Amino acid sequence: MPLFHEIPLHPALKPYIVRLTIADPAEENDAAAPYKVLPGPNPVLGFQYRGRLATVRENGDALLERSGVTGLQTSSRVFRPDPATRTILVTFRPFGLVPLAGPLLDQLANQSVGLDSFIPTLVSRLLEERLGETDDISRLGTTVQGFLLKLLLESKWQPLQAVIRATELINKSHGQARIETIAQEIGWSRRQLERTFQSHIGLNPKSFASLTRFDWAAKHLLASSSLVELAGKAGYADQAHMARHFFLYAGATPGQFKENLALPSL
């Protein structure tokens, strides 16, 4: 398994970003093994400052850009890194990509695109060169955060407070809050909430709530001694309902998933 180094975040980034993680291989050949990542309620920005990363598909691997953004996913994905690949991962809050991509996150759902889709290619390449010049964890973290702070300062987009509040209500309830109740609390119609939420987050509120519920259940599965009890706490109608969601998002039943646990969503 790779070694993960979590970098302390600059206070100005915390409203937008959950964590900044640098993943290095534990051994020289360790990072070459394919690994599975579950869908989750957080988009990510990734930098491969050593090696390259590809998604594994039935019709062949698809090489990712060295610097790229991945929107919200609704199914698990398998990645295959080059040997000794080193990656920097910026895990955003659900609305945290708006200053970078604008309120167009619906176009990023189930997609991975190069960072140069949002900033000039020259800027992206210069950033990649700077990251490639060092293996120092602290310096890497400083370089990425400096880029993100500049981006925030110059961005003309900010997430709407009503959308932020809607995601908070969904997260706090582990995806169980009713969409009508959320719309009433923020003072919007359901239609307005659905349309604006999807452009800021990437999924409509119902789909995001479903993904959030699965994410909570998956993260509590190992500690749970009863699938029936876990299904009830997660707000599923019954164990069969939870099993359908697990198969939809993880490609496995809860029992199969527990036996061969994938990497948690980033």
CB 2 within 8 A of CB 31: yes
3-class SS of residue 263: strand
- For 181-196, the pLDDT digits (tens) are 999 999 999 999 999 9
- Distance separating alpha carbons of residues 262 and 266, to the nearest angstrom: 12
- Distance separating alpha carbons of residues 90 and 222, to the nearest angstrom: 26
pLDDT at 225: 84
- The pTM score is 0.91
CB 166 within 8 A of CB 41: no
Q: For residue 262, what pLDDT band results from cuts at 50, 70 and 90?
A: very low
DSSP structure string for 219-235: HHTTT-S-HHHHHHHHT
Domains along the chain with CATH numbers: 3-154 (2.60.120.10), 161-259 (1.10.10.60)
CB 147 within 8 A of CB 88: no
- For 121-174, the pLDDT digits (tens) are 999 999 999 999 998 999 999 999 999 999 999 999 999 999 999 999 999 999
Left, alpha or beta for 60 (phi > 0: left; psi -120 to 50: alpha)? left
Instruction: Take residue 39 and report the two structure tokens written for it.
Output: 């869908």
